[in-house]
Amino acid sequence: MMRRLSRQPRVASPAASMRSFATWLLILALAACAPEPNLPQAPAEPAALKMPYVTPPYRIQVADVLDIRLVLNPELNEEVTVRPDGHVSTSVVPDLRAAGRTVPELDAAFTEAYGRELQNPRISVIVKTFAPTHIFVAGEVVKPGEQITDGPPSTLSQAIARAGGTKLSSDDAHVFIIRRTAGDHAVILATRYQDLQHGQDPSADIRLAPYDVVYVPKSGIAEVYKWYNQYIQQFANPNFGFSFLLNPTTTGTNVIANP
């Protein structure tokens, strides 16, 4: 007579459970022992309500619309748009770099350029329309993608916050920025985003440049799991079941493996 027995699932021993529990306690204790920064107490009333917040001087960027006005020669007044190459053209000055300059700097540049054709030109540059600022956040964030804002570019923490924050799989200690420089060259810049998370250094909250790409990489553990999922889990089934056929009339035992 044949009897069919199923292999019972393995149950962790009390000693193994205690070791696992002790490991978790150690992790929690180490997290609790992390040093806390010595931060100043937040005031009852924000200082911004007493004194307006002042941003750095605005620098003209691509797609800004500028009014070029000449006080003594109003017939030469023009409205120009900053081209993708950062330059502008007028009827008197065929090519002049505008992007990256402040309004006073551009006033001086136009005065010098118009001075070659006019005597004592008095020029005023007015930014009529501000182009929106484009920032990109990619990698291990909740909502990666393009961020479009008016006014000055966001700071590092603002951009990541608008992206929903970082995921558990992120490596916050190695967040970096991809930035285009003169000549359309890309450079990779390191950040200290983890210092912001721990409240250690407010200067780490740098202001981004237009068209910056903030990239949050995966942690090492997440990379290992991704490799395991792609090359092991997708092609191999680690779950195996076993059934045993015991024949009491014979001395042998038949084992049948059921995948």
Tens of pLDDT, residue by residue over 197-231, are 888 888 999 999 889 999 999 987 767 767 667 76
Tens of pLDDT, residue by residue over 229-254, are 776 666 665 554 545 455 555 555 45
CA gap 187, 183 in Å, rounded: 11
| 141 DSSP 8-state letter | B
Find the DSSP H helices in the chain.
14-32, 103-114, 156-162, 193-197, 220-228
Q: Which fold has domain 65-129?
A: wza like fold (3.30.1950)
Tens of pLDDT, residue by residue over 131-183, are 888 999 999 999 999 999 887 789 999 999 999 999 999 999 999 999 988 77
Domains of the chain: which residue ranges? 65-129, 132-221
Residue 124 to residues 65, 71, 72, 93, Cα–Cα distance (Å): 14, 8, 11, 15
CA gap 170, 141 in Å, rounded: 8
The confidence band for 184, taking pLDDT boundaries of 50, 70 and 90, is confident
Burial of 212 (0-12, 13-18, 19+ CB in 10 A): buried
Using a pLDDT cut of 70, give the percent of the chain over it: 69
CA gap 218, 175 in Å, rounded: 10
Task: Please state which architecture CATH assigns to domain 132-221.
Answer: Roll (3.10)
| 182 DSSP 8-state letter | T
